[in-house]
Chain A
Amino acid sequence: MALKGNLRDFTITQLLNLINLARKSGTLFIEGPSEKAQVSFQQGKLAYAHVAGEDDSLATILYRANKITAAQHRTIKARAGKMSDKELGLLLINANYITQQDILASLQAYFVSVVQRLFTWVEGFFRFENGAAPPDGKITIRMSLENLIIEGSRQMREWEHLQSEIPSLDMALKFTDRPGTNLRNVNLSVEEWRVVSYINPKNTIRRIARTTQMNDLEIRRIVYGLLQAGLVELVRPQGTAPKLKPSLPGKTREEQKSLVNRLIGRIRSL
C-alpha cells in the first residue's frame, strides 16, 4: 500500500517510527507549505536528507561544520565543481585533508538538522517511495532513528500543549494594559520583536505568521512566550464580528435591555 498522506494526520515522528520498525528502505518526499524536502532511509536507518534549494554539497557542509576553511571552500568550489560528493570525499581523505570520520559526522549533523526542521512542519503532503535511493554521487550515512523519534515526540507534546494554549490562530493580540510592564525592559529575541511589531487588535495571529513567514509551530511558540510573560492577551480581531451578537430576542436595544433586566429580576428572586 502506498504510504502517503498529510502530516496533519500522520506526523513526521510517526513516519520515522514506522520506517524504523518496518526497517524500510526508500525515500520520503515531503511538500510543506513553503518548502520541499526528501529524506532517504536504508533498512530503517537515516541515510540522507535534503531541503530543496539548499546547497548541500559536501564542500559547503564541511565548511559550515568548520572542517575546512573559507579559502579551501572557495578553491574546491572553483576547481572541483563537477566532482560528485563521493569523488570529492575520497580526494580529501587521500590528500589527508580530512578523515572519513569527519566527513560522516558533518553529514550526519546536517541530515539531523534537516529532520529537526521537518518536526516543525505541522502540515504538508508526504509520500514514501519504496526503494528510491538518494541522488547519485551523494554520500550516505547509517544512523538509527531512535533518538530522533524521541526528540520528535517531545516536540509533538510541545505542539499539543501550544495548541491547547492557543486554540485558534484567528484571534488577535493586544498589549495588556498592566501598569509597570515596559517592552523596553524585556529581553526579546529578533523573532519575537518581529512578531511584536505587528501586534494590533486588527491583525489575527495567522496574519502575523504569514507576514513574518513563520509556520504554525513557530508563531505559537512566540505568542505563547509573550502570553506567559503577561505582555499580551488574546482578543477577538477588531472589526470582524459585531460586538454582542444579537443572540437576544427583541428588536430594539431598549427591548433587549429590558429583557436582560427581567432575567436579572427573576434570578434574584430564585
Chain B
Amino acid sequence: MQTVKIVVTGPFSAGKTEFIQSVSEIDVVSTERKITSEAERIKATTTVAMDFGRITVGEDLVLYLFGTPGQRRFDFMWEILSEGMLGFIVLIDSTRPETFREGRSILETFKAYAPTPYVVAANKQDLPDAWELDDMRIALRLQDHVKLLPCVATDKEAVKKVLLELLYSVLAEMDANETG
C-alpha cells in the first residue's frame, strides 16, 4: 500500500476543515474543540491537532489530506505534519484581510520546511465582501509564478480544482527537474 500526503494549512478559520471535508471519503477525523478564548470566538469550534481526510485512489494507493491547526500556538505540529508531503495548500479567508499577514507568514514557514510545490487558495470567494484575487496577490505579496486560486471550501468542484492545480504543479516540477 502506498500513501501520499498533501497538507492543507492557513490561518485560523480559513476553512481548512471544511475544505478537507468536501472531498474526503471519510468523515474528517478532526480534533475540534469548542472555542474558549474571547478573541477567537468567531465560530464555535477550532481544530487543535489536525484534520485528517482520505481519498482512496486504488487498492494500492491512498491520498491523505492533513489539515493543520490554524492557531499559532499549535504550530509545533506543523513541522511534523509537513514531513514527507507531496505539496501543500495555503488557504486564506478572502473576507478577512486581517489574517493575510498571518497567511503569508505560514506560507513562508512551510516553504522553509520542505522544497515541495504549493498553491495558495483564496477561500470564501462566495461571500460578498471577499477580496478580489488581484488585490489579494498584492496584499499577500505573491510572485506571478505562484498559483493563487479562487476557492469555496464548501463546493466540491472548487476544492477539486485547487487539488488538481497543486498536482499539476507537482508534475511540472518533476519535468523541470528532469530537464534541469
> Is B111 in the interface zone, CB < 8 Å from A?
yes
- Selected from A243, A259, A266, the residue in CB contact (under 8 A) with B55 is A266
Chain A stretch 141-198: residues in CB contact (< 8 A) with chain B: 164-168, 170-171, 176, 178
CB-CB nearest in chain B for A171: B112
- Selected from A170, A230, A253, the residue in CB contact (under 8 A) with B112 is A170
Number of chain B interface residues as a range: 35 or more
- Contact status B141-A242, CB under 8 Å: no
- Selected from A164, A233, A247, A270, the residue in CB contact (under 8 A) with B116 is A247
- Contact status A227-B86, CB under 8 Å: no
Give a binary string over B138-180; 1 marks a CB under 8 Å from any A CB, 0 the rest.
0001011000000000001000100110011011011011100
Cβ–Cβ < 8 Å partners of A262 in chain B: 57-58, 61
CB-CB nearest in chain A for B163: A267
- Selected from B4, B143, B144, B178, the residue in CB contact (under 8 A) with A248 is B4
Nearest-neighbour CB distance to chain A for B149, whole angstroms, equals 14
Number of chain A interface residues as a range: 35 or more
- Contact status A253-B111, CB under 8 Å: no
Chain A stretch 241-260: residues in CB contact (< 8 A) with chain B: 241-245, 247-250, 253, 256-257, 259-260
Stretch of B12-20, B34-42, B44-52, B98-106 lying at the A interface: B98-106
Cβ–Cβ < 8 Å partners of A242 in chain B: 115
> Is A62 in the interface zone, CB < 8 Å from B?
no
A178 to B142, CA, bound (A): 11
> Is A2 in the interface zone, CB < 8 Å from B?
no
> Is A234 in the interface zone, CB < 8 Å from B?
yes
Cβ–Cβ < 8 Å partners of B176 in chain A: 243
Nearest-neighbour CB distance to chain B for A46, whole angstroms, equals 35
- Contact status B164-A247, CB under 8 Å: no
Q: How many A-B residue pairs have CB under 8 A?
A: 107
CB-CB nearest in chain A for B72: A164
Nearest-neighbour CB distance to chain A for B165, whole angstroms, equals 10
- Contact status B23-A267, CB under 8 Å: yes
Cβ–Cβ < 8 Å partners of A249 in chain B: 2-4
A240 to B76, CA, bound (A): 23
Nearest-neighbour CB distance to chain A for B162, whole angstroms, equals 10
Cβ–Cβ < 8 Å partners of A165 in chain B: 101, 104-105, 108
Cβ–Cβ < 8 Å partners of B177 in chain A: 243-244, 253
> Is A69 in the interface zone, CB < 8 Å from B?
no
> Is A79 in the interface zone, CB < 8 Å from B?
no
- Contact status B178-A263, CB under 8 Å: no
Knowing A242-B115, A243-B173, A245-B116, the reply to whether A167 touches B2 (Cβ < 8 A) is no
* Chain A interface residues (CB < 8 Å from chain B): 164-168, 170-171, 176, 178, 227-228, 230, 233-234, 236, 241-245, 247-250, 253, 256-257, 259-264, 266-268, 270
Given contacts A263-B167, A267-B160, 20 further A-B pairs with CB under 8 A are A165-B104, A171-B108, A230-B141, A234-B108, A234-B111, A236-B115, A241-B114, A244-B170, A244-B177, A248-B86, A256-B174, A257-B171, A259-B61, A260-B86, A261-B171, A263-B61, A264-B167, A264-B168, A266-B56, A267-B164
